[in-house]
Structure 1
Amino acid sequence: MSAGFADIDWARPWLAPIEARGRRWQAAALAGYDEYLATLNEDAASALHVTGRGERLAFIGQEELPPDASYEGHIAQTGRVPTRHNLHDFFNASMWFAYPRIKAALNARQAQQIDTLGIGPTRGGVRDALTLFDENAVLFACADASLADALRGFDWRTLFVGERAAWGTRCEARIFGHALLEKLVAPYKACAGHAWIVDVPAGYFTLDDAARRALLDERISHSILDAPLDNRVFAPLPVLGVPGWWDANTSTAFYEDVSVFRTGRLNRRC
């Protein structure tokens, strides 16, 4: 079963940070589930990444998750990530390599919440925010507070039109959420992420991709472990509005669609 793996278009700019490893994984996934898991585990063995409680990262078939175990708790305790043969879990695994500290921090805090509160019919505010980050976050790195304010204030014309030249020099977006990446295999205009705003120094934009990811990985992982969390810490971001990500957004008329680029109340600062 290909599960949509053949549909991944590596020319999409938001996939550039994971393309090199992703192409190998895609080929393995198309060859079969066993080869796919073996390839993930070869990479995990050489990368030496760990999960939320310091356990070495590995990937197992979903059927190996014990029926009485929670997903996040099992990962924290064993290091073994239950993984299905589908796009959703493909992109989830990708983030363990692109941002290993963020993923470990998310897992650590999820496990701590489960230990404290148990598994109930609802997750609660902190676990909801952690899950939203994991599934749908966009990392908005910004060296200009006015651009962060424009994002929080739904000032799309400033952010995407008036300050278009700022993208790549004073701000940028990087998709983290694996559910969002899955949706963007078949992009549509209304596709939106939840932006986590990260203040970065101006020199950030002189760094290469690996160095930028490392800086964000370290900085955000500390925030996840230490900061108060609920869903209000995010700012909505229509991702196909990001300059350079979608051909149609070169026209200012693209941003006049109020069903996508909505006005709204100011979000609390991340």
Structure 2
Amino acid sequence: MTAVPSAANHAFAASLSAIDWTQPWFQPFAAAGAGLAAVVADGASLHACLNQLAAGSGLRNGRGLPLKFIAQEELPAGTAYEANIHATGAVPTRDNLHDFFNALIWLHFPQAKARLNAIQAEVIGRTGVQAGRGGVRDAATLFDENAILFLSADASLEAALREFAWQELFVRRRQDWGRQCTVVPFGHALLEKLVNPYKSVTAHAWPLALPPVSAARPAMLDDAVAASLQAAADAGRLRGGRSFAPLPVMGIPGWSDANADAAFYADVTVFRLGRRQESEA
């Protein structure tokens, strides 16, 4: 007897079909993502497809165990999600956009994802699962869910980002985007939000002193992100949200037609003045 697709299956297929892979924020992942989305939307098993891709790429977790994607129901009761991935290599994955994008980031940034997971698992192993994650786990979770990599070897552009200098970053230095700086999304919740983008979408930017061309070299960028995460953890610089620079992503040149008008950036509810300036206002 042929199985009848459930309403949930239809909803997941429809959400995958709604992804516009030509949008600039999806383009780093479009080659793998569009094909995967198409076959899954056509009825293929998400887990089977992911496991085939993971095995073909030799993906492993931080302990060197082969990475595999399992149904959420297979996560043992009482076992933390992050601890399970580190202990077994098995990533609990639901049929929804959130977990689809999480898996896609595992395929694109396997070293960085494994390093993030190892950092989280180390804290869980040392302190257990508590009501509050603590600074390190908070930072790791924010990175995992909502990070965007800001690539620039120009320290003045990074300074503009960190100082909330939106006119400098997006207006006066507009022509430097693509030449002196670029971004690559990392957080899977961020990608999920960008399926239906809105002006106030704000990512947690992680600056890396790398030229924009690095975005076209996924393996090299993956290694650099993993190394930067470990260095930050070793130096005690993973401490919640203050580990990052807020970046309203729809202000990025080319990400919204509306931002061609400099008045777009006058909305201080989105392009905030920064903590110091706000306290002085």
Q: Aligned ranges for residues 233-248 of structure 1 at < 5 Å?
A: 233-248=243-258
- Alignment-derived partner of residue 8 in structure 1: 19
> Amino acid of the residue matched to residue 26 of structure 2?
L
- Quote the offset at 1:216 in angstroms: 2.3
Give the aligned residue type for 1:243.
P
Does structure 1 residue 124 correspond to structure 2 residue 143?
A: no
- Residue by residue over 1:155-194, the C-alpha shift from the partner in whole angstroms, topping out at 9 and shown as x without a partner, is 0000000000111111111110000100110000000000
Structure 2: unaligned runs, 5 residues or longer: 1-8, 277-281
Taking only the aligned residue pairs, the percentage that are identical comes to: 51
The answer on 1:102 being equivalent to 2:112 is: yes
Q: Which residue of 2 aligns with 1:215?
A: 220
The 2-side partners of 1:206 and 1:49 are apart by: 24
How far apart are residue 196 of structure 1 and its match?
0.5
> Which residue matches 2:30?
19
What is the match of residue 4 of structure 2?
Answer: none
Q: Aligned residue for 1:181?
A: 191
Instruction: Please give the alpha-carbon distance, in whole angstroms, between the structure 1 residues aligned to 2:130 and 2:163.
Output: 35
1:81 to 91, 94, 108: 91
Question: 1:58 touches 1:79 (CA, 8 Å); kept in 2?
Answer: yes
Q: Does 1:42 align with 2:52?
A: yes
Matched, 1:159 2:169: yes
TM-score, normalising length from structure 1?
Answer: 0.93
Deviating above 2 A after TM superposition, structure 1's stretches of 4 or more consecutive aligned residues are: 204-208, 213-216
Structure 2 counterpart of 1:147: 157
CA contact (8 A) 1:29 1:85 kept: no
Which amino acid letter does the alignment assign opposite residue 27 of structure 1?
A
Question: What's 1:70 paired with?
Answer: 80
Distance 2:27 2:120 in 1: 29
Q: For the residues of structure 2 that align with 1:193 and 1:221, how far apart are their CA atoms?
A: 19
Query: 3-state SS of the aligned residue for 2:164?
Result: coil
| Distance in 2, Cα, partners of 1:259 & 1:153 | 16
Structure 1 unmatched runs, 5+: none
Does residue 1:31 correspond to 2:42, yes or no? yes
Q: Secondary structure at the match of 1:14?
A: coil
Q: Is the 8 A contact 1:41 1:58 kept in 2?
A: yes
Q: Which of 179, 194, 200 is equivalent to 1:169?
A: 179
Write the letter of the residue equivalent to 1:237: L
Report the secondary structure of 1:24's partner residue: helix
CA distance in 2, matches of 1:206, 1:223: 18
Paired amino acid for 2:242: R
Q: Deviations over 1:209-261 (max 9, x none)?
A: 1x2x3232112211212322112110000001111111111111111111111
Question: What letter is aligned with 1:195?
Answer: A
Taking structure 2 as the reference length, the TM-score comes to: 0.89
- Larger C-alpha radius of gyration, 1 or 2? 2
- Give yes or no for contact 1:153–1:265 (8 Å, CA) kept in 2: no
**Structure 2: how far apart are the matches of 1:216 and 1:233?**
19
Write the distance in 2 (CA, Å) between the matches of 1:207 and 1:87: 27
